[in-house]
Structure 1
């Protein structure tokens, strides 16, 4: 059984933020959670909005809770908004069904955790998340 280390989680967050700077994105918050939904690393850029860490957490936590990446959840939320409204209520608002979240897997496909990024447009948040995970040599499963 593989485990996501603190060093890997830190590298994911720092790589995602570095990539966001290269792309000229707005200030971000990035969080990496273990498979149980517990934070390993959370960083919020100085000028990112005050809710960005909670949104990043909700994106990552939603991926873990639904077992799919944020892109898949976003597609399903459009097709069945009543279900995702119920999901938000059931989870006490801890799920954000939108791009910017990804499951983190090893080469064998084993779930190691999830990453969530918030601060820019959802597609850009997702790009930063994927870059950070892949830079670490792991697989970002966005759905």
Structure 2
């Protein structure tokens, strides 16, 4: 299954609704398909300059390494040279929660969400809420 524009928009809408309900700072949200191609992006009014770049680095890093950025941050802490090398080589890694893999009902990887703007924990919670609202699954859930 491929990730549709309608699904990507549903993820963004629900993620931003959760952010507003939780009083989060202004967010940037990007949805990438499984090939790391952008499907949709939104930046809330007031989100700071680098939020797009950070959100994209979270989503593409999760796709490239096959794990949510929360997991990658833990791995990077115990193997910093390897992960610094990947970040330098690709320019597409951010080691903070908020990059979350998207899976379909069969568990197949369909893309990733990257969110930046608040704490990593808030960014990640908004991503997960968006994925669930779109009827999809995140990380290893199914």
Q: For residue 62 of structure 1, what is the aligned residue in structure 2?
A: 61
What residue number does 2:114 align with?
116
Coordinate RMSD, CA, aligned: 1.2
Alpha-carbon distance, 1:56 to partner: 0.4
Within-5 A mapping of 1:97-136: 97-136=95-134
Per the alignment, residue 138 of structure 2 pairs with: 140
The runs of 5 or more residues in structure 1 that have no matched partner are none
Moved over 6 A (4+): none
2:37 is the counterpart of 1:41: no
Residue number in structure 2 paired with 1:94: 92
Distance 1:71 1:110 in 2: 20
1:29 matched to 2:28: yes
Is residue 102–residue 142 contact of structure 1 (8 Å, CA) maintained in 2? Answer: no
Distance 2:48 2:140 in 1: 24
What is the TM-score with the length of structure 1 in the denominator?
A: 0.95
Work out the number of aligned pairs and report it: 141
| TM-score between the two structures when normalised by the length of structure 2 | 0.96
CA distance in structure 2 between the partners assigned to 1:53 and 1:121 by the alignment: 15
